[in-house]
Structure 1
Protein backbone atom coordinates (compact mmCIF):
# COMPACT_ATOMS: atom_id res chain seq x y z
CA UNK A 1 0.00 0.00 0.00
CA UNK A 2 1.40 3.37 -1.04
CA UNK A 3 1.27 6.16 1.54
CA UNK A 4 -0.04 9.50 0.32
CA UNK A 5 2.06 12.37 1.62
CA UNK A 6 -0.03 15.45 2.30
CA UNK A 7 1.12 19.05 2.41
CA UNK A 8 -0.24 22.33 3.67
CA UNK A 9 -0.48 25.14 1.13
CA UNK A 10 2.25 27.41 2.54
CA UNK A 11 5.14 27.02 4.98
CA UNK A 12 4.21 27.55 8.61
CA UNK A 13 5.19 30.88 10.12
CA UNK A 14 7.68 29.23 12.53
CA UNK A 15 9.60 27.77 9.56
CA UNK A 16 11.04 31.18 8.70
CA UNK A 17 12.76 31.82 12.07
CA UNK A 18 14.12 28.26 11.87
CA UNK A 19 15.50 29.03 8.40
CA UNK A 20 16.98 32.29 9.70
CA UNK A 21 18.71 30.46 12.53
CA UNK A 22 20.22 27.87 10.22
CA UNK A 23 21.21 30.34 7.51
CA UNK A 24 22.88 32.60 10.12
CA UNK A 25 25.50 29.86 10.46
CA UNK A 26 26.32 30.19 6.76
CA UNK A 27 25.61 33.82 5.88
CA UNK A 28 26.30 37.07 7.74
CA UNK A 29 22.90 38.42 6.64
CA UNK A 30 20.41 35.52 6.56
CA UNK A 31 17.47 37.92 6.10
CA UNK A 32 18.85 38.56 2.62
CA UNK A 33 17.48 35.10 1.82
CA UNK A 34 14.60 34.69 4.28
CA UNK A 35 12.74 37.83 3.25
CA UNK A 36 12.61 36.74 -0.43
CA UNK A 37 11.65 33.21 0.67
CA UNK A 38 8.53 34.61 2.31
CA UNK A 39 7.49 36.19 -1.00
CA UNK A 40 8.57 33.30 -3.25
CA UNK A 41 5.92 31.17 -4.93
CA UNK A 42 5.52 27.50 -4.14
CA UNK A 43 7.26 25.25 -6.64
CA UNK A 44 7.88 21.50 -6.70
CA UNK A 45 10.88 19.22 -7.04
CA UNK A 46 11.35 15.48 -6.54
CA UNK A 47 12.83 14.43 -3.21
CA UNK A 48 15.76 12.65 -4.85
CA UNK A 49 16.64 15.75 -6.89
CA UNK A 50 16.62 18.01 -3.84
CA UNK A 51 18.95 15.62 -2.01
CA UNK A 52 21.30 15.47 -4.99
CA UNK A 53 21.34 19.26 -5.31
CA UNK A 54 21.85 19.73 -1.57
CA UNK A 55 24.68 17.16 -1.49
CA UNK A 56 23.41 15.88 1.85
CA UNK A 57 23.08 12.39 3.20
CA UNK A 58 19.68 11.22 4.30
CA UNK A 59 18.98 10.82 8.00
CA UNK A 60 17.31 7.53 8.91
CA UNK A 61 14.21 6.80 10.95
CA UNK A 62 16.54 6.43 13.94
CA UNK A 63 16.70 10.23 14.11
CA UNK A 64 13.95 11.39 16.46
CA UNK A 65 12.81 14.27 14.23
CA UNK A 66 12.65 12.05 11.15
CA UNK A 67 10.74 9.43 13.14
CA UNK A 68 8.29 12.09 14.31
CA UNK A 69 7.65 13.15 10.71
CA UNK A 70 7.22 9.53 9.60
CA UNK A 71 4.47 9.16 12.21
CA UNK A 72 2.82 12.35 10.94
CA UNK A 73 2.90 11.05 7.36
CA UNK A 74 1.38 7.71 8.39
CA UNK A 75 -1.39 9.54 10.29
CA UNK A 76 -2.14 11.74 7.28
CA UNK A 77 -0.97 14.94 8.94
CA UNK A 78 -0.12 17.62 6.39
CA UNK A 79 3.54 18.67 6.30
CA UNK A 80 4.88 22.15 5.76
CA UNK A 81 6.63 22.83 2.42
CA UNK A 82 10.40 23.14 2.67
CA UNK A 83 12.55 26.24 2.23
CA UNK A 84 15.51 26.16 -0.16
CA UNK A 85 18.30 28.61 -0.99
CA UNK A 86 20.39 28.32 -4.15
CA UNK A 87 24.09 28.45 -3.32
CA UNK A 88 25.16 29.03 -6.92
CA UNK A 89 28.84 29.79 -6.19
CA UNK A 90 29.15 26.32 -4.63
CA UNK A 91 26.83 24.62 -7.12
CA UNK A 92 24.33 23.34 -4.57
CA UNK A 93 21.08 23.99 -2.77
CA UNK A 94 20.80 24.67 0.96
CA UNK A 95 17.82 23.18 2.78
CA UNK A 96 17.14 26.18 5.00
CA UNK A 97 14.20 24.48 6.70
CA UNK A 98 12.65 21.06 6.22
CA UNK A 99 15.61 18.67 6.23
CA UNK A 100 13.92 16.22 8.62
CA UNK A 101 10.67 16.36 6.63
CA UNK A 102 12.66 15.65 3.45
CA UNK A 103 14.32 12.63 5.05
CA UNK A 104 10.97 11.28 6.26
CA UNK A 105 9.35 11.71 2.83
CA UNK A 106 12.28 10.01 1.11
CA UNK A 107 11.73 6.99 3.37
CA UNK A 108 8.38 6.45 1.62
CA UNK A 109 9.16 7.55 -1.91
CA UNK A 110 12.32 9.03 -3.39
CA UNK A 111 10.26 10.25 -6.35
CA UNK A 112 7.80 12.12 -4.12
CA UNK A 113 7.11 15.64 -5.32
CA UNK A 114 7.98 18.11 -2.59
CA UNK A 115 6.37 21.56 -2.48
CA UNK A 116 8.92 24.18 -1.59
CA UNK A 117 9.96 27.78 -1.86
CA UNK A 118 13.33 28.49 -3.42
CA UNK A 119 15.41 31.63 -3.86
Structure 2
Protein backbone atom coordinates (compact mmCIF):
# COMPACT_ATOMS: atom_id res chain seq x y z
CA UNK A 1 0.00 0.00 0.00
CA UNK A 2 1.44 3.35 -0.98
CA UNK A 3 0.27 6.29 1.06
CA UNK A 4 2.12 9.48 0.31
CA UNK A 5 3.15 11.65 3.24
CA UNK A 6 1.56 14.79 1.82
CA UNK A 7 -1.77 13.02 1.48
CA UNK A 8 -1.87 12.04 5.16
CA UNK A 9 -4.03 14.28 7.29
CA UNK A 10 -4.13 13.87 11.05
CA UNK A 11 -7.92 14.14 11.32
CA UNK A 12 -8.39 11.46 8.66
CA UNK A 13 -6.36 8.90 10.63
CA UNK A 14 -7.16 9.25 14.30
CA UNK A 15 -10.14 9.08 16.59
CA UNK A 16 -10.29 11.94 19.08
CA UNK A 17 -10.56 9.60 22.09
CA UNK A 18 -9.37 6.06 22.84
CA UNK A 19 -11.92 3.32 22.31
CA UNK A 20 -13.37 1.82 25.48
CA UNK A 21 -11.83 -1.61 24.81
CA UNK A 22 -8.32 -0.07 24.80
CA UNK A 23 -8.36 0.42 28.56
CA UNK A 24 -8.91 -3.25 29.56
CA UNK A 25 -6.21 -4.19 27.02
CA UNK A 26 -3.85 -1.71 28.68
CA UNK A 27 -4.71 -3.13 32.09
CA UNK A 28 -3.95 -6.68 30.95
CA UNK A 29 -0.50 -5.58 29.78
CA UNK A 30 0.28 -3.33 32.73
CA UNK A 31 -0.59 -6.12 35.19
CA UNK A 32 2.38 -8.00 33.75
CA UNK A 33 4.69 -5.15 34.75
CA UNK A 34 3.08 -3.85 37.95
CA UNK A 35 1.06 -5.10 40.89
CA UNK A 36 -2.67 -5.22 39.98
CA UNK A 37 -3.54 -2.21 42.16
CA UNK A 38 -0.80 -0.10 40.58
CA UNK A 39 -1.84 -1.17 37.09
CA UNK A 40 -5.49 -0.31 37.82
CA UNK A 41 -4.43 3.10 39.11
CA UNK A 42 -2.45 3.79 35.95
CA UNK A 43 -5.43 2.87 33.78
CA UNK A 44 -7.64 5.21 35.82
CA UNK A 45 -5.10 7.97 35.19
CA UNK A 46 -5.03 7.13 31.47
CA UNK A 47 -8.82 7.45 31.30
CA UNK A 48 -8.60 10.92 32.85
CA UNK A 49 -5.52 12.15 30.98
CA UNK A 50 -5.74 14.69 28.21
CA UNK A 51 -4.95 13.43 24.71
CA UNK A 52 -1.70 14.94 23.42
CA UNK A 53 0.28 14.48 20.19
CA UNK A 54 3.81 13.14 19.80
CA UNK A 55 5.78 12.09 16.72
CA UNK A 56 5.89 8.37 15.95
CA UNK A 57 9.70 8.37 15.71
CA UNK A 58 10.03 9.92 19.18
CA UNK A 59 7.65 7.41 20.72
CA UNK A 60 9.72 4.58 19.28
CA UNK A 61 12.95 6.07 20.56
CA UNK A 62 11.53 6.55 24.05
CA UNK A 63 10.01 3.07 24.19
CA UNK A 64 13.11 1.33 22.83
CA UNK A 65 10.83 -1.15 21.09
CA UNK A 66 11.58 -2.46 17.60
CA UNK A 67 9.46 -1.47 14.65
CA UNK A 68 7.37 -4.51 13.77
CA UNK A 69 7.53 -5.61 10.14
CA UNK A 70 5.00 -4.17 7.75
CA UNK A 71 3.65 -7.68 7.12
CA UNK A 72 2.92 -8.33 10.82
CA UNK A 73 -0.74 -9.35 10.84
CA UNK A 74 -1.82 -6.59 13.26
CA UNK A 75 0.24 -3.87 11.58
CA UNK A 76 -1.13 -4.95 8.21
CA UNK A 77 -4.66 -4.87 9.63
CA UNK A 78 -4.17 -1.28 10.82
CA UNK A 79 -2.69 -0.21 7.49
CA UNK A 80 -5.76 -1.73 5.82
CA UNK A 81 -8.02 0.26 8.18
CA UNK A 82 -6.27 3.47 7.14
CA UNK A 83 -6.61 2.57 3.47
CA UNK A 84 -10.34 1.94 4.05
CA UNK A 85 -10.64 5.32 5.82
CA UNK A 86 -11.29 3.84 9.27
CA UNK A 87 -9.75 5.82 12.10
CA UNK A 88 -7.24 4.48 14.59
CA UNK A 89 -7.48 4.84 18.34
CA UNK A 90 -4.93 6.95 20.27
CA UNK A 91 -2.00 5.18 21.95
CA UNK A 92 -1.93 4.66 25.74
CA UNK A 93 1.46 5.34 27.35
CA UNK A 94 3.06 5.13 30.78
CA UNK A 95 6.36 6.74 31.73
CA UNK A 96 8.67 4.00 32.96
CA UNK A 97 11.85 4.52 34.92
CA UNK A 98 14.10 3.89 31.93
CA UNK A 99 11.76 3.72 28.97
CA UNK A 100 8.31 4.60 27.76
CA UNK A 101 5.77 1.81 28.19
CA UNK A 102 3.23 1.35 25.41
CA UNK A 103 0.30 0.05 27.43
CA UNK A 104 -1.92 -0.21 24.34
CA UNK A 105 -1.39 0.67 20.70
CA UNK A 106 2.00 -0.81 19.73
CA UNK A 107 0.64 -2.10 16.40
CA UNK A 108 -1.09 1.22 15.69
CA UNK A 109 2.19 3.02 16.39
CA UNK A 110 4.02 0.75 13.95
CA UNK A 111 1.33 1.41 11.36
CA UNK A 112 1.66 5.17 11.79
CA UNK A 113 5.45 4.96 11.44
CA UNK A 114 5.04 3.21 8.09
CA UNK A 115 2.82 6.06 6.94
CA UNK A 116 5.51 8.57 7.95
CA UNK A 117 7.87 8.63 10.91
CA UNK A 118 7.09 12.31 11.47
CA UNK A 119 3.39 11.63 11.82
CA UNK A 120 1.91 13.06 14.99
CA UNK A 121 0.27 10.33 17.00
CA UNK A 122 -2.46 11.08 19.56
CA UNK A 123 -1.68 9.56 22.91
CA UNK A 124 -2.51 9.60 26.57
CA UNK A 125 0.59 9.76 28.78
CA UNK A 126 0.82 9.21 32.53
- The two structures have a TM-score, normalised by structure 1, of 0.94
Deviation at 1:75, TM superposition (A): 1.6
Match of 1:11? 18
Match of 2:69? 60
Higher helix share: 2
Deviation at 1:60, TM superposition (A): 1.1
**Runs of 4+ with >3 A deviation:** none
2:115 maps to 1:115: no
Match of 2:30? 23
Residue correspondences, number = 117
Deviation at 1:36, TM superposition (A): 0.4
SS at match of 1:117: strand
Match of 2:57? 48
Deviation at 1:76, TM superposition (A): 1.6
Deviation at 1:39, TM superposition (A): 0.2
> Over aligned residue pairs, what C-alpha RMSD do you find?
1.0
Deviation at 1:61, TM superposition (A): 1.7
SS at match of 2:45: helix
5 Å matches for 1:65-80? 65-80=74-89
Which digits, 9 at most, give the CA deviation of each residue in 1:62-99, with x for residues without a partner? 21000000101112211100000001x22x11000000
2:111 & 2:14 partners in 1: Cα distance? 13
Match of 2:44? 35
Alignment partner for residue 105 of structure 1, among 93, 112, 122? 112
Give unpaired runs (5+ residues) of structure 2.
none
